Amino acid sequence: MEIDKILNPFKDSVIHVFNTMLNLEPLAEDAINVLEREITSDITGTIGVIGDITGTASVRFPRALACRIASLMMGTEIHEINNVVKDAIGEIANMVTGGAKGILIQLHEISYKLAIPTVILGSDHTLSYPTGITVKAIPFIIDDQKFYLEICLKNGE
């Protein structure tokens, strides 16, 4: 399975989640190879999948955008990363990965199980992956803020 074949359903799922839950319209840019261009973020929601494809899918945000997303989801102003923001970003990762699963089943009969989401915090943190595996990311723009969908997936065993 080519990772590029999996990317589009994830991209469409990100756009659908942001449109439906947040009334935001993120603009997707061209996918990048993460091993050639390291990505940093302040908060990452990551979720493991296992099945026809196996690996992780992550949504990665700068601090300000994560707070804006949590504010929209909770209906209250949030200015600092706290447990509510962490929970919101975990839920975004969950919805994006679940939504992509629905599209992948329809398009390619690819299915997987989702793990419980994990949230990683730290200013400008990076993610590390095993060597020899392809990791791709799609940058998205909302107003002047950028966030990333990052996927590291291979054929299931």
Partner 1 sequence: MKILVVDDSLTMRRILKTTLRRLGYDNFDEAPDGAVALTKMEGIDFVITDWNMPNMDGLTLVTTLRKDPVYKKIPIIMVTTEAGREDIIEAIKNGVNNYIVKPFTPEILKQKIDQTLQKL
Rule CB under 8 A: which residues touch partner 1?
A: 16-17, 20-21, 70, 73-75, 83-84, 87-88, 90-91, 94-95, 97-99, 101-102, 105, 111, 114, 116
CA-to-CA dists, residue 89 to 33, 37, 68, angstroms: 23, 23, 11
Nearer to partner 1, 14 or 137 (CB): 14
Cβ at position 74, least distance to partner 1 in Å: 5
Cβ at position 95, least distance to partner 1 in Å: 5
- From 74, 84, 2, select the one nearest 43 (Cα to Cα): 84
Nearer to partner 1, 113 or 133 (CB): 113
CA-to-CA dists, residue 77 to 4, 27, 42, 81, 101, angstroms: 37, 24, 19, 12, 32
Nearer to partner 1, 16 or 125 (CB): 16
Cβ at position 101, least distance to partner 1 in Å: 6
Nearer to partner 1, 6 or 17 (CB): 17
Give start and end residues of each alpha helix (H) in the chain.
3-17, 63-74, 83-108
Cβ at position 115, least distance to partner 1 in Å: 8
Amino acid identity of residue 68, one-letter, is R
Nearer to partner 1, 70 or 138 (CB): 70
Cβ at position 156, least distance to partner 1 in Å: 15
Residue 154 and residue 133 in contact, taking contact as beta carbons nearer than 8 Å: yes
Pairing label, strands 112-114, 53-61: unpaired
